[in-house]
Amino acid sequence: MVATTDEEKEVAKSEVEAKKLVLEKFHRWIKVFGKKQLERMPTQKIWDHVIDIKEGFILRKGKVYPLSREEREEV
């Protein structure tokens, strides 16, 4: 019998809990839903970039796409 560490037990427990919450069709990627993966920062990639905002720029709320009255009420 192989002894497992507390960390391995925690990972296994996390995967079991994730399987309860995640749809079955996503179970092959279950490790990415684990607690350990969620707590770490993603690695930096070459396509990462900074979005420079101009001095004095004020964010405004805008519509992503137009909705009918019925669609707005539903949302």
Domain locations in the chain as residue ranges? 6-41+48-74
> What pLDDT is recorded for position 4?
64
More confident residue, 40 or 56: 56
Give the range with max mean pLDDT: 13-17, 40-44, 53-57. 53-57
Rounded mean pLDDT, 63-74? 86
Kindly report the backbone phi and psi dihedral angles of residue 6, in degrees, each rounded to the nearest multiple of 5, phi listed first: -60, -35
Alpha helices in the chain (DSSP H): 6-21, 35-38, 69-74
Residue 51's pLDDT band, with cuts at 50, 70 and 90, is confident
**Could you give the CA distance from residue 73 to residue 42 in angstroms, rounded to a whole number?**
37
Q: Give Cα 50 distance to the centre of its chain.
A: 20
On the question of pLDDT at 32 being above 50, the answer is yes
User: Does residue 19 sit in helix, strand or coil?
Assistant: helix
Strand (E) or helix (H) holding 64: none
